[in-house]
Amino acid sequence: MFFIYVIKSIRYGTRYIGSTKDIGVRIIEHNNGRCRYTKGRKPWILVYSEKYKTRNEAMKRERFLKSGQGRKYLDKVIID
């Protein structure tokens, strides 16, 4: 299984969208500073995720969520 996930910086309120096989490990990596983009905005919390059977499906959905329409969708489904 593959996942797309959205994490939010507790300190700055910014969002990050990504995909992975293991959400738990990935969030730990973000919070430990192992990812260049998220390194300076920690701590991060998981605010949204979806599960897919293939990596291709997950990547397609990730690209959509990073688009303007996808960001609008996330604004509606994620309640802060």
Write the CATH number for 59: 3.40.1440.10
Pairing of strands 15-20, 44-52: unpaired
Alpha carbon distances (Å) from 35 to 28, 41, 50, 76, 79: 10, 11, 21, 27, 25
Domain range for 73:
2-77
Tens of pLDDT, residues 17-62: 999 999 999 999 999 999 899 999 999 999 999 999 999 999 999 9
Pairing of strands 2-9, 44-52: antiparallel
Q: For the chain, how many structural domains are there in total?
A: 1
pTM: 0.92
